[in-house]
């Protein structure tokens, strides 16, 4: 009987753990809110692209963007960049929240953010800057 209970316990734990591991966020989930956020980000990207290329802004390790080197910006663009960065970060935060909610797990927001952060960096163009785990900047 003890052997049977032990075997049953091992099987139950294995099944529980495998279902827990397989429960991962679907990053491709789509809702009207997510579509609106993505459209907003896509429209803004044309304004940000040259700033990524110049090194003025970079991708942070936590899935946002930051002004990395304001001196890389033409003087006329320095004031407006903060508003662009703030708008982009607002949309990114909203995207992470909506993707987690769209999966029925708002508590997954941190995991979603982390996965997106890695994807943004992986998909960044050569020459763009990204923040490393220690906080320093590296050029891709």
Q: Please list, in sequence order, all residues whose beta carbon lies within 8 angstroms of the beta carbon of residue 125, skipping any fewer than 6 positions away.
A: 52, 53, 140
Domain assignment of residue 121, yes or no = yes
- In the chain, what percentage of residues exceed pLDDT 90? 77
Q: What's the structural domain count of the chain?
A: 1
Domain assignment of residue 60, yes or no = yes
Query: Model confidence over 15-70: pLDDT tens digits?
Result: 444 333 346 889 999 999 999 999 999 999 999 999 999 999 999 999 999 999 99
What are the angstrom distances between the C-alpha of 96 and each of 9, 10, 27, 30, 133? 37, 36, 9, 12, 20
Domain assignment of residue 72, yes or no = yes
115 pLDDT higher than 60: yes
- Structural domain for 74, as ranges: 51-140
Domain assignment of residue 63, yes or no = yes
pLDDT of residue 83: 94
Domain assignment of residue 83, yes or no = yes
Domain assignment of residue 99, yes or no = yes
Domain assignment of residue 36, yes or no = no
| Average pLDDT for 81-94 | 97
Domain assignment of residue 111, yes or no = yes
């Amino acid at each position: 009987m003890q052997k049977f209970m032990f075997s049953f316990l091992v099987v139950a734990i294995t099944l529980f753990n495998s279902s827990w591991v397989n429960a991962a966020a679907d990053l491709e989930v789509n809702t009207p809110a997510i579509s609106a956020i993505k459209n907003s980000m896509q429209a803004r990207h044309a304004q940000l692209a040259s700033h990524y290329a110049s090194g003025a802004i970079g991708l942070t390790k936590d899935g946002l963007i930051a002004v990395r080197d304001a001196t890389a910006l033409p003087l006329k663009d320095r004031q407006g960049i903060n508003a662009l960065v703030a708008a982009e970060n607002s949309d990114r935060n909203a995207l992470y929240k909506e993707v987690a909610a769209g999966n029925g797990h708002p508590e997954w927001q941190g995991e979603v953010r982390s996965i997106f952060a890695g994807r943004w960096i992986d998909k960044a163009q050569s020459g763009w800057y990204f923040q490393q785990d220690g906080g320093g900047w590296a050029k891709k």
